[in-house]
Amino acid sequence: MSAPSAPSTASASSTPSASATALRRRRAATAGFHLGAGTLAVLWLLPIALVLVTSLRTFDDIAAHGLGSRPHSFTLGNFGQAWNDGGQQRALINSLLVTVPAVLVTLALAAMAAFGLSRYDMPFRRSLLLLMLGGNLLPPQILLIPVSKLSELLGIYDTLPALVGVQIGFGVGFYVFVLHGFMRSIPPEIQQAAVVDGAGPWQIFWRIILPLTRPALAALSALSFTWIFNDLLWAITVLRSDTKMPITAALIGLQGQYVSMWNVIAAGSVIAAAPTVIVFLRFQKHFVAGLNLGAVK
């Protein structure tokens, strides 16, 4: 009677072994993932840490021990030198004067256009969307001379409004395409119920569609602020005066002004990167929500 019980005993003994092997494999995979992700994170953050440390070192320390050596001194005077003598203060104001209006106007125009294209039957709706998307696929290098000549003919060359107009013109098509997908995913029953209650198109857009699109608007706000604030190509295309250059162009002038004073150049880079970091951290939650909403439809 004891012979039939042998297979069940072997099966019971093999089951814990298999589960233990699977558990070890999962732990090894998890450890490998964390090790790889940690290595990539360190490699990604290492240049940023080097710039931050360099911005706090004195010139004598860097000249005596080298740029990659262990710091022997710390000072905040580099930021004051870049801010005042390097023109970073004026350049940062110019960047904000361009970026904030460009972001607000572009998103406002894109939201209204996307609302009309996504919620109403309009002729050539798909053709308009493809035309807007196709305009963003053109390499910006082939449009440098036409944009420069057009700004001269309009009499706005070497002015901040010219740069604002360029940023709006080249950004609104992409934002319309993105917002159109979000607004189209909103159930039509919501709009139909509002129409039954007597709401007009503007009330539907302002009170219903726009609040539901807030995650997408927040994500686009963070992206557009970063793109416009960090733009260099269009700034040097439509601007000429040093007093009107944004922060990215001012960094080039800062490098030419201080040449080998890497501590001042690093401090200027930190000043230039601070606004975009602040905006991204402020909209981080909405940014992630907007990406998740776009991924699950």
- Segment of 27-41, 87-101, 183-197 carrying the highest mean pLDDT: 87-101
Q: What's the residue count for the chain?
A: 297
Asked whether the beta carbons of 214 and 133 are under 8 A apart, the reply is no
If one counts every other C-beta atom within 10 angstroms of the C-beta of residue 7, the result is: 9
For residues 30 and 101, the model is more confident at 101
Taking every pair of Cα atoms in the chain, the longest distance, rounded to a whole number of angstroms, is 104
d(CA 111, CA 239): 29
Per-residue pLDDT tens digits for 136-153: 788 888 889 999 999 999
Residues 6 or more apart in contact with residue 273 via CB below 8 angstroms: none
Residues 6 or more apart in contact with residue 86 via CB below 8 angstroms: 250, 253, 254, 257, 258, 264, 268
pLDDT at residue 186 above 90? no
Under DSSP, the state recorded for 242 is G
Query: Which tokens is 148 given?
Result: 């420069």
Asked whether the beta carbons of 253 and 51 are under 8 A apart, the reply is no
- pLDDT mean across residues, the chain: 85
Query: Which tokens is 176 given?
Result: 């319309």
Tell me the whole-structure pTM to 2 decimals: 0.82
Find the angle CA(56)-CA(59)-CA(61) to the nearest 5 degrees: 80
Query: Which tokens is 161 given?
Result: 């409004």
pLDDT score, position 290: 55
pLDDT score, position 70: 86
Find the angle CA(193)-CA(199)-CA(203) to the nearest 5 degrees: 115
pLDDT at residue 11 above 70? no
d(CA 235, CA 162): 9
Q: Long-range CB contacts (< 8 A, 24+ apart) of 134-143?
A: 135/170, 135/173, 136/170, 136/173, 136/174, 136/177, 140/170, 140/233, 140/234
d(CA 153, CA 170): 19
